[in-house]
Amino acid sequence: MNKIVIDTATLKALLGGHPEIEVELLAVAREKVAEELKRKLPDGYAAKFADDIMADLKQRINAQMLNWRGDALSDRVRDMVRGCVYDVLNAQTKAAAEQTARDVAEKAITAMLPRLEERLSQHQDALIKKINGLVGEEIERQINARLNAMMKLTEGLQNA
């Protein structure tokens, strides 16, 4: 069997105007390359190749993780933890302050309530006295007005 070796650039130039041929050729080529590799490569080579790729990936990932470790990672973790702790402390402090304010206000109102009731009672008593005084004055005025009217009437009768 004679083989013709053509580099990829030449093949693309020859078949550039016919993509369907290229697709068929690639599909056939893929199967033939896979068969050829199975035949020529020793047993277990594919598994070793996959293991080598995984080892390389792990090494790259570890290298990236080393870049993230150290000060940058510890700073980020510290900042995250600090943020969480501050949020929790702020919430607890706010809740405690609100509860303390409620308790203080309740105690102050409870302490002031008897004095307010006493002052209200004193104010009511003063208003009642004032009203009684005004009512008494009005009654006295009306009585005086009637007495004056009666006196004028009796004087008028005596003079007539």
Helix (H, G, I), strand (E, B) or coil at 27: helix
pLDDT in tens, 75-106: 777 778 888 888 888 888 888 899 999 999 99
Read off the DSSP letter of residue 44. T
In this predicted model, what pLDDT tens digit does every residue of 102-142 receive, in sequence order? 999 999 889 999 998 999 999 999 999 999 989 989 999 99
Q: What is the 3-state secondary structure (H, E, C) of 76-137?
A: HHHHHHHHHHHHHHHHHHHHHHHHHHHHHHHHHHHHHHHHHHHHHHHHHHHHHHHHHHHHHH
pTM equals 0.33
Location of structure tokens 């405690």 = 96
The position carrying tokens 């570890």 is 62
Measure the CA–CA gap between 99 and 95, rounded to whole angstroms. 6
